[in-house]
Each structure stands twice: as structure tokens, then as C-alpha cells.
Amino acid sequence: MRALKSPDRESPPMEEVIRATGHPNVLAEHTSTFEVTTDDYLTPAGDCILAIEADRAPADFDAEFVEACQDRDATITAELAVETADGTRVETITGSGHPELSFASERSAVGRTSDHVDERTVMIDADSPALGVDREIVAALADGADATLTLSVE
């Protein structure tokens, strides 16, 4: 009896999921970053913050995921799903990995349109900052909607 050979398949992307919530001070007006934080408060000065009270931070991510993101050729995708009055809306932001991404922050996950890296950075060269997020999503977050941020790396 011959064993059937399974077709070659690409391995699925690795993912990390963060659940958070909106806040009345969500403005999403920053022109170079977006952020999700474990903090339980938000002032109007935090104009890059999309959601607060995150249930996880980059320091909680799996080591394999972190290692995959430390490749310059890695594509990192942030998918933000939010319940709006019209149903679930999803914003997708794509960026790049970098060898210096540490995912060491125990507080915040930040995507950047620049190539700046610090302990909070989860992607660089993002194709959108907070200002680019769908305004219906922003309005729902400002009304306190729950958010799910799924980060994946390929």
C-alpha cells in the first residue's frame, strides 16, 4: 500500500491576538503611529491610541512569533476588528519586521510608519497610522466598542 502524498501547503501565518476596548478620548489623529495599550485610561494627548485595557502586551507574545518578526523580510499585518452600528468592520494595516524588534513592552503595542524601533514597536514601515483608520471604526471606539487586534507575520 502506497501512502498518499499530501500537497505542499504554505504554513499559515503565526498570530497573536489582543483584545481591548475603546474610550471616549479615542481620536486616532496621529500621523505616524497607532497604538493599543494595557492602560485603563486615555487622555486627549494620546491621539495615536486606538484602544485601552488590552488583555495582553508584546512581552506576552510567543518567542517564535517574535523571532519571525525580527526578519527584515517579514510582513507583519495588524487586523483591527471592531463592532460598529453597521456590523463588524475591519481595518488592515501592513508593515515590516526588523531585527531589533524586541516585543519587550509590558504596556503597549505600537505600529509605526517610520523605521523607529523601541520596546513597544510591533511593526515598522506601516502603510497607515491612526489617522488612516476608518472613521466609523474610530467613532465606534470612541463610543467604547470592543476591539480585537490580530497581529500576524509571514
- Domain 16-153 superfamily per CATH: mth639 domain like (2.60.120.630)
Q: How confident is the model at residue 124 (pLDDT cuts 50, 70, 90)?
A: very high
Q: Is the pLDDT of residue 32 over 90?
A: yes
Segments making up each domain of the chain, as ranges: 16-153
CA torsion sign, 115 to 116 to 122 to 128? negative
pLDDT by residue (tens digit) across 88-97? 999 999 999 9
